[in-house]
Structure 1
Amino acid sequence: MPKTSARAELLARRRLMTDAERADAAEAIAAHLLATPLVARATRVACYLSMPTEPGTGPLVAALHERGVEVLVPISEADHTLDWVALDPSAPVTRTALGIPEPDGPRLGADALAMCSVVIVPALAVDHAGHRLGRGAGYYDRALAGVTAPVCAVVFTHELLAEVPHEPHDVRVQMAVTPAGLFRVP
């Protein structure tokens, strides 16, 4: 199945989920990640702020802050790259034209990921080999090139698939977390 068709199908299925299903998924995802030793020991984590139909990261981000973990979140740039900001829970968050929540704060540069224990990224699907299907703009593939920290994609349980369409430039993830648990790529 081509990437475009796969994206359309996965996005349509996400739109059918209820708010209660999404809230339950966000809580379960947070619990699984917070119990993972890599995250439990972390002092700095990169994570995205989820959009309404994505697996929610709100409970995870709140719990990380409660533990004193510095959370870096992406800011999309006009040149289709990502910069990073240390999230201040009291800072205002605005939505981009694409609906992506982005906080105010000093830009840390692309090198900020080098100091993270784990990088948590959005995905529409992940397969058993660690191929991640994103939305197609390539922001994360560019941001993750050369990152040595483990990368974990967040997906709903039905989005962990045997295989997803991928290309040679697509950056693989080492883990995927779903409401059902954490999957490590062999």
Structure 2
Amino acid sequence: MSKDELRTDLLRRRREMSDDARAEAAEAIALHLLVAPLISSASRVACYVSMATEPGTAPLIEGLLARGIEVIVPLSLADGTLDWAVYDPAATTTVTPLGIAEPEGPPLGSTAVQDCALVIVPALAVDHSGIRLGRGAGYYDRALANTTRPVCALVFAHELLESIPHEPHDVPVSMAVTPNGIFHVP
């Protein structure tokens, strides 16, 4: 199956999930990550603000903030790259043409993820070698090309796959979190 066919199938399956199933998955993912040793010692974590059909990040972000951990979120730039801003739940947000809610706040620069204990990214699937299938725009591959920080993708349980077609520029993740637990890439 090609990347495009796999994306189409996974997006269809996400749309078919009930809101309750997505909410339960978001809570389970948050619980798994919030007890991870990497998080317990963190002062800053990068995380995305989830879209409707993605594994929800709201419970995770709330949990991080409740522990006094600063959360930074991506800002998409016109040139296809990402910048980062501190997440403030009270801040005004703007919805991008891609449908992503981004906070209005001062940008921190593209290298802000280097100060994070963990970089949490969206994915449609992750395979056993850490290859991440995104939506195809390449924002995260470009943003993470030079990061030395651990990268974690959030996926539903059926999206942890044995293998995914990939390209040389695809940046692998070091772990994936599903509602069933944390999968560390060997």
Q: Would you say same fold, with TM above 0.5?
A: yes
Deviations 1:20-68 (A, max 9, x none): 0000000000000001100121100000000000000000001111111
User: How far apart are the structure 1 equivalents of 2:47 and 2:79?
Assistant: 21
User: How far apart are the structure 2 equivalents of 1:58 and 1:7?
Assistant: 24
The 5-angstrom pairing of residues 1-186 of structure 1 reads 1-186=1-186
Deviations 1:48-100 (A, max 9, x none): 00000000000000111111100000000000000000011110122112211
- After TM superposition, the runs of 4+ consecutive aligned structure 1 residues lying more than 3 A away are none
User: How far apart are the structure 2 equivalents of 1:123 and 1:157?
Assistant: 12
Structure 1 unmatched runs, 5+: none
- TM-score calculated relative to the size of structure 1: 0.99
Structure 2 SS opposite 1:110: coil
User: How far apart are the structure 2 equivalents of 1:102 and 1:17?
Assistant: 25
User: How far apart are the structure 2 equivalents of 1:164 and 1:84?
Assistant: 28
Which residue type is aligned with residue 161 of structure 1?
A: L
Structure 1 SS opposite 2:183: strand
Which residue type is aligned with residue 183 of structure 1?
A: F
User: How far apart are the structure 1 equivalents of 2:165 and 2:36?
Assistant: 28
User: How far apart are the structure 2 equivalents of 1:141 and 1:63?
Assistant: 27
Aligned residue pair count? 186
Identity %: 65
Structure 2 SS opposite 1:12: helix
Structure 2 unmatched runs, 5+: none
Deviations 1:81-138 (A, max 9, x none): 0000001111012211221110111000111011000000000000000000000000
Which residue type is aligned with residue 96 of structure 2?
A: T
- TM-score calculated relative to the size of structure 2: 0.99
